[in-house]
Structure 1
């Protein structure tokens, strides 16, 4: 059975699609057969990234590691309750088919609460939630007391993940490994950075996630979108960008993140191809 990775939270702009692309390419470079599914059918950022990648490969007559893309059919039922049930079952069926034929199934969830997103979360073996390093994004996980700064009750997304975990345990008995990734970290040891870290440590013990090394804020992630390239392609012959020391540091951050995910298909030693 393939290992299902869902990259999700319910806030736009957290870097889900960029992270999804890099995890998918990292697994493909490491020799794994990767399936991909973009559940944000409106923006399609994850999917369009690989469309750009295919065009770049065709133009430069080269072949870059790329996952196999799958597509969720649109619900046909007229009544809303029936359409939601149809979407839920279609998502479960599609992910099951993907994991039967691939080592890794990578699902990029939308930044909204949808039947497909809830179903995908309940299928996850590993859930990766990128979080911008601010209390604005932290509010998605839990409330913060404005006077004392203490962490309060879990918020809507944490409650949704809790429900997904219960469904997963009831259906397959294997728990979801929830990994929270601090994204766009500042290189400075700012007071806000420390406060967010302390709040995450306190919340992690209560609702059951672990914090993985994050990715720093870098312009390169935005620049490479139009070519469909990733950090892992920059050293390849004919790459469309100059490889710099900043990119070396960024690649190491990505390597540390992939190793922190502890993906079973990579083995206990984390056999990476980059």
Structure 2
């Protein structure tokens, strides 16, 4: 990855409640913990979940006087007159990986970020409601009838990237919150996803389970990689950390460049 510019991981899903921002934050911190120089950019100027999460993390580091892996980060605001490309160049200067969290809606900045993506990550909950975002399923057979609007949007983004940059987008659908889904329904969703992945062209990897842990970590900006700071970490924390590590491995990023020190947070 070194010498070829940053690797872009873009988290995008037009449906809310899929754990997109939580996953993006954990991904950014996990990559920084590997010794990569990481930048994180929040495109959602309204909810600003990724930005607020990392604000909380920076405040915890100052309050406790500790040093933890921390990406450089900022919230992009188009009202300030800066283009997304200019903001990415400024915030991601010297970064090995750039994590971009898009809003849970269709807007021009989200579409522009999708074209930048080396890896486009679409987290979904394991339900047909979420699956409908990328493919319509027959009510009787549960077979995929046709790709949905979002799949077409991703296809267009991949085509544009291939034309302008000569490179394709690795589209990854992340199956989040598997734990509390009834097994029969989970198998049906999985079968539909497998069928759709062959038709549309994405990879499916397991994401993060539904755990109270993630909501509890937000106020301090901590992640599952910060077990010494969490206090009273139990088996559930360790299992969740392993899920995170397996998810990062599943994304298939290039190896980290040697002698990389994490960037400091700046906003």
Give the TM-score, by structure 1 length.
0.88
Partner of 2:109: 116
Q: Residue 129 of structure 2: SS of its match in structure 1?
A: helix
Partner of 2:188: 195
Q: Which moved more, 1:11-20 or 1:151-160?
A: 151-160
Contact persistence 1:33–1:104 (CA under 8 A): yes
Q: 1:149 aligns with which of 120, 134, 142?
A: 142
Partner of 2:123: 130
Partner of 2:254: 264
Partner of 1:248: 238
Q: Which moved more, 1:56-65 or 1:17-26?
A: 56-65
Partner of 1:47: 51
CA distance, structure 2, for counterparts of residue 72 and residue 223 of structure 1: 26
CA distance, structure 2, for counterparts of residue 10 and residue 241 of structure 1: 35
Q: 1:69 aligns with which of 55, 73, 91?
A: 73
Residue 65 (structure 1) shift: 1.2
Partner of 2:40: 36
Q: Residue 124 of structure 2: SS of its match in structure 1?
A: strand
Provide the alpha-carbon RMSD of the alignment: 1.7
Unpaired runs of 5+ residues, structure 1, are: 77-85, 268-274
Unpaired runs of 5+ residues, structure 2, are: 258-267
Contact persistence 2:39–2:99 (CA under 8 A): yes
Q: 2:88 aligns with which of 81, 92, 95?
A: 95
CA distance, structure 1, for counterparts of residue 31 and residue 245 of structure 2: 11
CA distance, structure 2, for counterparts of residue 151 and residue 64 of structure 1: 45
Contact persistence 2:41–2:101 (CA under 8 A): yes
Q: Structure 1 residues 44 and 188 mapped into 2: Cα distance closer, same or farther (>3 Å)?
A: closer
Contact persistence 2:123–2:174 (CA under 8 A): yes
Correspondences of 1:182-221 after superposition (within 5 Å): 182-186=175-179, 190-221=183-214
Q: Which moved more, 1:12-21 or 1:210-219?
A: 210-219
Q: 2:25 aligns with which of 1, 21, 35?
A: 21
Residue 189 (structure 1) shift: 6.4
Contact persistence 1:103–1:265 (CA under 8 A): no
Contact persistence 2:10–2:117 (CA under 8 A): yes
Q: How many residues align?
A: 253
Contact persistence 1:38–1:44 (CA under 8 A): yes
Contact persistence 1:38–1:71 (CA under 8 A): yes
Partner of 1:271: none
CA distance, structure 1, for counterparts of residue 89 and residue 165 of structure 2: 12
